[in-house]
Amino acid sequence: MSDDLYAVVGNPISHSKSPKIHSLFASQTGEAVDYTAIQAPEDGFRETVSEFFARGGKGLNVTVPFKEQAWAMADRRAARAEKAGAANTLYRDSDGQLVADNTDGQGLVSDLTANHGLDLAGLNILVLGAGGAVRGVLGPILSRRPARLVIANRTVAKADALVALFADEAGDTELAACGFEQPTQPFDLIINGTSASLKGDLPPLAPSVIGSDTVVYDMMYSATTTTFNQWALDQGASRAIDGLGMLVEQAAESFRIWRGVSPQTDAVIKTLRE
C-alpha cells in the first residue's frame, strides 16, 4: 500500500521546512506518511484544497496567506481554531467533514514550556503585535494563567479588539492593550509576533522593558539572531529564543492530530539547526 498523502499549502512555499520536519517525524515514528509542499495560486486556495482531498489526501497544513481562508472553508472547527480566526491544519473526519484546527499557539506554548523550561503561570508577559499570528497564540498563552498579559501594537485599536475578544478566556490574568512606547517596566517574557523584523524594523519599545531576567521570544526564526532578539540581547535580556522550536512543535501537534502518534521534537529541532 502507498503512503498516506499530506502537504503544506502556501504561496510562496518553496522555502517551507514542513516537508523536512514531517518526513523526519515519519521516519522516527514509522508512520506511512508522504508529505509534500503545494503552491496554491493566490486566488485558487479552495480549489487546491478540494483537489487534494479528492485525490485521497489525508491532511493539510496551511500557511501564509491562506490561514483565514482555511478557517472559513471548514465545515467544523476545533475550539482553539474558532477563536484564532485562522487555521493551519485541515483534515476530513470519519463523516467526510472538513475540520480546521490551529496548532500554532500550542506549538508556541510547548516550545516555551517543554523545550525552554518556562512556566508561564504568574508571569508578566508583553506580546508585540495584534495581527493574525498573535490572535492565533493568545488562547493557549492565557490557558497557562500568566499574571498579566499586555498586547502592544502600532495600531492600538487592533490590540484593544484582541483584548475584547479574549476577555472571556482571561480568568485572573490582567489583560491590557497599549502602543509600543507606553510600557516602561521590565517584563518576564516578551513575545514578538509582529512582522516588523521580517523587514528589519524594530517596534519602538522603551529599553527599560528589558530587565536582567527578561526572556524574549521571536515567533520568526532565521539562521542568525533575529533583529528583535539582537536588540533585546543588546539591552541586557537574559535569553533570546527564536521561533524554530515553535515551528517544529506546531508540526508535531498536527502530526498527532492526523496520526494519533506524538513525535519526539528535540532531535528534529537539532537537525534543523545544523
- For the annotated binding site for shikimate, the residues are 16-18, 63, 88, 104, 221, 250
154 contacts ligand ATR (rule: CB under 6 A): yes
Which position among 62, 87, 133, 177 is part of the footprint of ligand ATR (CB under 6 A)? 133
For 184, counting Cβ atoms within 10 Å of its Cβ (0-12 exposed, 13-18 middle, 19+ buried), the class is exposed
Distance CA 253, CA 255 (A): 5
Tally of helices (H runs) and strands (E runs) in the chain: 10, 12
| Shortest Å, Cβ 154 to ligand ATR | 3
Q: How far is the CB of 86 from ligand ATR (least distance, A)?
A: 8
Minimum CB distance to ligand ATR smaller for 26 or for 141: 141
Write out the three cell numbers for 260. 494519533
Q: Are 88 and 63 in contact (CB under 8 A)?
A: yes
67 is catalytic: yes
The closest alpha carbon to 112, from 183, 166, 190, belongs to: 190
Find the binder of ligand ATR among 40, 130, 162, 232 (CB under 6 A).
130
From the candidates 20, 58, 67, 199, give the one annotated as an active-site residue: 67
- Give the C-alpha separation, 58 to 155, whole Å: 39
Residue 179 sits in the site that holds ligand ATR (CB under 6 A): no
Q: How far is the CB of 71 from ligand ATR (least distance, A)?
A: 12
Q: How far apart are CA 21 and CA 158, in angstroms?
A: 33
271 binds ligand ATR (CB under 6 A): no
What residue ranges bind ligand ATR (CB under 6 A)? 129-133, 153-155, 158, 194-196, 199, 201, 203
